[in-house]
Chains A and B, each alone.
Chain A
């Protein structure tokens, strides 16, 4: 197996002869690649033989461009410059404008619970330190999923139909792996990090999970900056990762009771809520995907 030539310095590629980490094998002749970008590992598992390395290279280059353009951890990114008042809205790259517009839409769709300005309103919160004052934004919560949704498009346009991309736990599963009719996706048990709580069969669908694994440091209620009550994790599945991720983040922030009501009204997306009382609530569509 040749090494992937076009990837960045943090790349690694798993030899195809063995499946990584004990998961089910996915293809005999496919391509696996892990790219560390945006502070997370992005795992590619491409089953289609006809897909060339250039498509993967384009996808990887795209992720690094997104990181350079959006990261609040890079002082020269457009978001950092916007937060410092060095750029105006009209000077932003069209993709940046599109992301910020989608963030505003999701703010409405989630009754205000998805909130890219929230990190900068928290007292003593680390994201604000040195990188932005009141009025600053942290759109990373959408950017990650949005970037991977574009990766899905890049791979599809290159002719790939059967592949999976896992960006630090948020996944798009296209088509199916060799020898199976769908991708089997486990949802991590939020109480026991080495256990799987639920397994779904996914085809051409995204899935995202938000939860308490950071001991509450991950998501706070944007309205009162308190820990959401009653939930351990929220998993959302549907058409695109960005929306699923934003919905999962928002639903988690709502707390168990409000999240259950809100998720029941979702259109085109399905939800599972794992609650602190060790119970699971699922929408009918989610239950239908379970293996």
Chain B
């Protein structure tokens, strides 16, 4: 399955984009969800949730409340889900993915807060 995205190359080469297979839902496991403190950032507020099973993080997700409701759709698509994003990249013909990491202060603060709730921060 191949498709081309409208990503053109300026003067220096050609881009071909191969298609991916959508992620399928993982089987449910005994997990507990911990949600970090709501943190404000430039475009709104966010909170990070982690799902923990057997003292291990299974999933990291983020919920966003943008200041401008009209940008909600854009934000929910554009803001990354960190590790979860990589998990969703199914069926690509690659061994791994390079991406911009979400290192915003608000994200990290909320993540650390969630880790604290889950008692996963090193003492």
Chain A interface (Cβ < 8 Å from any Cβ of B) = 8-12, 20-24, 26, 36, 39-41, 43, 45, 64, 67-68, 73, 119, 125-127, 140-141, 164, 166, 168-171, 173, 177, 180, 183-190, 192-199, 207-218, 233, 235, 274-275, 278-284, 287, 290
B38 to chain A, nearest CB (A): 12
Residues B97 and A187 in contact, CB atoms below 8 Å apart: yes
Q: Give Cα A170 to B106, complex, Å.
A: 21
Chain A CB within 8 A of B27 CB? no
Given contacts A281-B10, A287-B12, contact A218 B98 (CB under 8 A): no
Contacts A22-B90, A184-B94, A187-B97 given; does A41 touch B5 at CB 8 Å: no
What are 14 A-to-B residue pairs whose CB atoms are below 8 Å?
A21-B88, A23-B94, A41-B60, A45-B96, A186-B98, A187-B97, A187-B98, A187-B99, A190-B100, A196-B18, A197-B5, A197-B7, A197-B15, A281-B12
Contact of B89 among A12, A196, A212, A218 (CB under 8 A): A196
B85 touches A211 (CB 8 A): no
The answer to whether B111 touches A39, judged by C-beta atoms less than 8 angstroms apart, is: yes
A9-B120, A127-B105 known; A196 vs B10 contact (CB < 8 Å): no
Tell me whether A23 and B85 are in contact (CB under 8 A): no
Does A73 lie within 8 Å of B109, measured CB to CB?
A: yes
The reply on B70 being an interface residue by CB < 8 A is no
Contacts A217-B104, A274-B7 given: A177-B95 contact, CB under 8 Å? yes
Name the residue on B nearest A165 (C-beta).
B96
Roughly how many angstroms separate A214 CA and B110 CA in the complex, as a whole number?
15
Distance between B113 CB and nearest chain A CB, rounded to angstroms: 10
B98 and A215: CB pair below 8 A? no
Q: A41-B82, A217-B104 are in contact. Are A164 and B5 (CB under 8 A)?
A: no
- Enumerate chain B residues within 8 angstroms of A198, measured Cβ to Cβ: 15
| Interchain CA distance A80-B57 in the complex, whole Å | 27
Is the contact region of chain A dominated by helix, strand, or loop, or is it mixed?
mixed
**C-alpha gap A275/B10 in the complex (Å):** 10
Contact A23 B100, beta carbon cutoff 8 Å:
no
From known contacts A8-B122, A193-B77, A214-B104, infer whether A169 and B99 are also in contact, taking CB-CB under 8 Å. Answer: yes
For B, the interface residue count at a CB cutoff of 8 angstroms equals 64
A166 engages B96 (CB within 8 Å): yes
Q: Are A214 and B98 in contact (CB under 8 A)?
A: no
* CB pair B98 A24 closer than 8 Å: no
Structural contact, A164 and B96, CB atoms closer than 8 A? yes
The reply to whether the CB of B25 lies closer than 8 angstroms to some CB of chain A is no
Q: Is the pair A9, B100 in contact by a Cβ cutoff of 8 Å?
A: no
The residue that A218 contacts in the complex, of B40, B82, B102, B109, with Cβ under 8 A, is: B102
**Cβ-defined contact, B92 with A23, below 8 A:** yes
The CB with the most chain B CB atoms within 10 A, among A11, A45, A193, is that of A193
Q: In the complex, what's the smallest C-beta–C-beta distance from A2 to chain B, in angstroms? A: 15
B7–A126 touching, CB < 8 Å: no
Q: Give the distance in Å from the alpha carbon of A280 to the alpha carbon of B5 in the complex.
A: 12
Report whether B101 and A169 are in contact in the complex, using a CB–CB cutoff of 8 Å: yes
Please determine whether B8 and A278 come into contact, CB atoms closer than 8 angstroms: yes
Known A9-B55, A127-B105, A169-B98; 11 more pairs at CB < 8 Å: A9-B120, A12-B58, A21-B87, A23-B92, A26-B95, A73-B109, A168-B83, A171-B96, A185-B97, A188-B98, A210-B100
Within 8 Å by CB of A23, from B11, B96, B104, lies B96
